[in-house]
Amino acid sequence: MYTKWKTWAHVTKLDPDKNLNEDQLAEIATSGTDALMLSGTLNITKENMQELRDQVREYGLPLVVEPAGPEAVIAEGIDLLYIASVMNTNQAQWIVGKHKEWALHNKVQWDRVIQEAYIVLNPNSSVAKVTGSDCSIGAQEVAAYAEVADHFFQFPVVYIEYSGTYGNPEIVKAAAEAIDNAVLYYGGGIDSGEKAAEMAQYADTIVVGNAVYDKGVQTLIETVQAIQ
């Protein structure tokens, strides 16, 4: 299996439902980010996932696809599939149900799969609404979910997801202290070098997504430089 993902400090998340021009994509590819993650929650299909893959694959950066569901999985021309299970949902389909359907109807390339334990913490985000996540939990419960994900389920990635808003560093710190083996990802609201540096104190890997579309590629470059 491709193993360099464990050393990534900065990942850029690109949404197949949003558009960037060729110049912007070239700037992102040369920003110093370690990898590109193709991912989104709404209006994601194999077709727009493939279109985005074709736009960025020429730059030679590691490519990760993180599908919202089985209908958006593509495996050709990418390095890894990041497959999420949401820890703090009361809907079993987002823990294991979608995954069962994927295995039932497809030949899964398991050697490309990295399992993610998602802890979703922004109640106003699309991912929280779609998955029915309980975002009212505090640091102790987040740490408990992270510990269970790491030690019981043995997820290689625990992902603290604030999706669209900047989270609480103390909660990320609590999750980091509860983990011994998993790589800790943080995503949400990182739109400056200062925020990237703050979360990078606790998370192994910082994910920057919305800032690319809302504030531009220069902001992305600032987040890369802040954690190098």
Q: Please tell me the predicted confidence (pLDDT) of residue 2.
A: 66
* 132 appears as a binding residue in the annotation: no
What is the band of 35 on the pLDDT scale with cuts at 50, 70, 90? Answer: very high
What is the band of 1 on the pLDDT scale with cuts at 50, 70, 90? Answer: low
- Range of weakest confidence among 91-95, 166-170, 190-194, 209-213: 209-213
* 41 appears as a binding residue in the annotation: yes
* 15 appears as a binding residue in the annotation: yes
**What is the identity of the amino acid at 109?**
Q
* 189 appears as a binding residue in the annotation: yes
Please give the Cα distance from 167 to 35 (Å, whole number): 22
C-alpha distances in Å from residue 199, one per residue of 19, 112, 172, 189:
27, 28, 7, 11
On the question of pLDDT at 67 being above 90, the answer is: no
* 161 appears as a binding residue in the annotation: yes
- Range of weakest confidence among 64-68, 80-84, 118-122, 130-134: 64-68
- Domains of the chain, start order: 8-227 (3.20.20.390)
Please give the Cα distance from 190 to 101 (Å, whole number): 33
Q: What is the mean pLDDT of the chain?
A: 94
Q: Please tell me the predicted confidence (pLDDT) of residue 168.
A: 98
What is the band of 128 on the pLDDT scale with cuts at 50, 70, 90? Answer: very high
* 164 appears as a binding residue in the annotation: yes
What percentage of the chain carries pLDDT values higher than 90? 83
Q: 58: which residues sit within 8 A by CB, 6+ positions away?
A: none
